[in-house]
Amino acid sequence: MEAYVGYFLYFLSLLTVGGIYAIFALGLNVQWGFAGLFNVGIVGFAAVGAYTYALLTTAGSTFHLGGFGLPLPFGMFMGMALSGVIAGLIGLICIRLRSDYLAIATIGIAEIIKLILKNETDITNGPRGINKIPRAWEHFSETRFYTDWPMSWFGTPENWEAFFDSLPNWYWQPLFAATIILSMYVIYRMLERARTSPWGRMMTAIRENEPAARAAGKDVTRRRIEAFVIGASIMGLAGALFAQHLRLIEPTNTFDPSKVTFLVWVMLITGGSGNNRGAILGAFLIWTIWSASELVISGGIELVENIFSTLDPSILQTRAGFLRMMLIGILMQVILQRYPGGILPEVRPASPKAENDTREPTGETK
Amino acid sequence: MKNVLMATAATLLATTAMAEVNIGNPMAMTGPIPDLNAPIAQAVDLAATHINDQGGMFEAGEAFNIIRADSACDPVAAVDAVTKLINVNGVAAIVGPVCSGAAIAQAESVSIPAGVVTLSVSASSPAITSMEDGTDLVFRAAASDAYQGVALAELAMANGMMDIAVSYANDDYNAAIAEVFVKAYQGMGGTVTANEAHEPNKASYRSEVATIGATSENLALFSYYGSGGITLMRNALETGAFMNFIGADGMLSDELIEQIGAENLMTSTFTTSASDSSTPSFAAWAELADAAGVPASDPFVANGYDATFMMALAIEHAGSADREAIAESLRAIASGPGVMILPGQWAEAKVLLAAGFNINYEGAAGNQDFDENGDVAGNFSKSTIVDGAWAAELIQ
Amino acid sequence: MWEFVNYYFIPGLVLGCIYALGAIGITLTFGILRFANFAHGEIMMSGSYLTWTVMAIAAGAGLTLHPLVAMVPAAVMVILLFLATDRYFYKPFRKEDTIKVVMASFGMMLIIRSAVQVIWGPNQITFVRGIAKPNATLSEITANWGLQIMMPNKHLFIFAGTIVLVIALGYLLNRTRIGKAMRAVSDSPDLAHVTGIDVDKVIRATWIVGGICATAAGVFLVMDTQMLETTMGFRMLLPMFAAAILGGIGKPYGAVFGGLVIGLAEELSAYPWIGTAPLLSPGYKTGVAFAIMVVMLIVRPQGLFKGRSF
ipTM over 0.90: no
- Chain B neighbours (≥3 Cβ pairs under 8 A) are A, C
CB contact under 8 Å between A325 and C110, yes or no, is yes
B10 → chain A, closest CA residue: A299
The reply to whether B2-143+280-361 and B146-272 are identical in fold is yes
Class at the top of the CATH hierarchy for domain C2-123+152-299: mainly alpha
Q: What is the pLDDT of residue C216?
A: 93
Q: What is the pLDDT of residue A180?
A: 92
pLDDT tens, position by position, C154-198: 888 899 999 999 999 989 888 888 888 888 888 777 888 888 888
pLDDT tens, position by position, A89-104: 988 888 888 777 888 8
Which stretch of A49-53, A86-90, B328-332, C272-276 has the lowest confidence by average pLDDT?
C272-276
CB contact under 8 Å between B207 and C270, yes or no, is yes
Label residue C309 by pLDDT band (50, 70, 90): low
From residue C60, how far is each of B382, C64, C197 by CA, in Å? 37, 9, 46
Contacts of C15 in chain B (CB under 8 A): 203-204
pLDDT beyond 60 at A353: no
Contacts of B74 in chain A (CB under 8 A): 253-254, 256, 259
Domain B2-143+280-361, CATH: 3.40.50.2300
Contacts of B73 in chain A (CB under 8 A): 253
Cα–Cα distance for residue pair B129/A233, rounded to 1 Å: 36
Q: Count helices and strands (H / E) in chain B.
A: 14, 14
B41: distance to nearest CA of chain C, Å?
Answer: 14
Q: What is the pLDDT of residue A315?
A: 65
Label residue C308 by pLDDT band (50, 70, 90): low
Q: Which of B199, B211, B238 lies nearest to residue C131, judging by beta carbons?
A: B238
Give me the total of CB pairs closer than 8 Å, taking one residue from chain A and one from chain C. 117
Q: What is the pLDDT of residue C130?
A: 67
A248: distance to nearest CA of chain C, Å?
Answer: 22
pLDDT beyond 80 at C56: yes
Tell me what percent of the residues of chain A surpass a pLDDT of 70: 88
**What's the predicted TM-score (pTM) here?**
0.84
Q: Hey, is the C-beta of A348 within 8 angstroms of any chain C C-beta?
A: no
Interface residue of A28, A43, A104 to substitute, partner C, most C CBs within 10 Å: A104
Query: Which residues of chain C from 55 to 84 reach within 8 Å of chain B, CB to CB?
Result: none
CB contact under 8 Å between B171 and A138, yes or no, is no
Q: What is the pLDDT of residue A158?
A: 79
CB contact under 8 Å between A333 and C111, yes or no, is yes
Interface residue of A106, A263, A326 to substitute, partner C, most C CBs within 10 Å: A326
pLDDT average, residue stretch A28-37? 89
Contacts of B207 in chain C (CB under 8 A): 7-8, 11-12, 266-271, 278, 282, 285
pLDDT tens, position by position, C207-251: 999 999 999 999 999 888 887 888 788 888 889 998 998 988 888
Tell me what percent of the residues of chain C surpass a pLDDT of 70: 94
pLDDT tens, position by position, A146-191: 777 667 677 777 777 777 777 777 788 888 999 999 999 999 999 9
CB contact under 8 Å between C130 and B261, yes or no, is yes
Each domain of chain A, given as residue ranges in start order, spans 2-256
Q: How far is CA B264 from the centre of its chain?
A: 27
For residue B97, say if its preceding peptide bond is cis, omega within 30 degrees of 0: yes
Q: What is the pLDDT of residue B255?
A: 75
CB contact under 8 Å between C131 and B264, yes or no, is yes
Contacts of C294 in chain A (CB under 8 A): 93-94, 105, 108-109, 112
Query: Which residues of chain A from 115 to 144 reach within 8 Å of chain C, CB to CB?
Result: 115, 118-119
C107 → chain A, closest CA residue: A329
Domain B146-272 sits in CATH 3.40.50.2300 = yes
B261 → chain C, closest CA residue: C130
Q: Hey, is the C-beta of C131 within 8 angstroms of any chain B C-beta?
A: yes
Each domain of chain B, given as residue ranges in start order, spans 2-143+280-361, 146-272
For residue B372, give the DSSP letter.
Answer: T
Q: Which of C35, C234, C298 lies nearest to residue A94, judging by beta carbons?
A: C298
CB contact under 8 Å between A325 and C108, yes or no, is no
Label residue C276 by pLDDT band (50, 70, 90): low
Label residue A312 by pLDDT band (50, 70, 90): low
CB contact under 8 Å between A170 and B32, yes or no, is no
Q: Which residues pair with A69 in a beta bridge?
A: none
Residues of chain B with pLDDT under 70: 1-18, 272-278, 378-379, 388, 390-396
Give me the total of CB pairs closer than 8 Å, taking one residue from chain B and one from chain C. 115
Each domain of chain C, given as residue ranges in start order, spans 2-123+152-299
